[in-house]
Amino acid sequence: MRQRWIGVLVFWAAVLALLWADWHGSTPHDRFAEPPPLALGHGPAADAGHCSLAPSSR
């Protein structure tokens, strides 16, 4: 029974050590530096949404 608890503690210590190493070794994510989404076969999407365009005057 004691050997099982030691194994559990070693497992969680390793998980926490890996999380700490990943957290301190990575660079912060810049969410604004991502490419624009694609508009299904029409190339990059425009800066504004389709609902913000002026209505056509017919």
pTM over cut 0.75: no
Residue 29, SS3?
coil
- The b-or-e profile of 10-41 (16+ CB within 10 A means b, else e) is eeeeeeeeeeeeeeeeeeeeeeeeeeeeeeee
Q: Which tokens hold the place of 33? A: 């530096």
Q: Residue 31: what pLDDT?
A: 76
Tens digit of pLDDT at every position of the chain (58 positions): 888 999 999 999 999 999 999 999 998 888 777 666 665 555 555 555 555 555 566 5
Q: Residue 6: what pLDDT?
A: 95
CA 44 – CA 39 distance, rounded (Å): 6
Q: Residue 22: what pLDDT?
A: 94
Q: What are the residue boundaries of the structural domains of the chain, listed by start?
A: 2-52
What DSSP string runs through 6-27?
Answer: HHHHHHHHHHHHHHHHHHHHSP
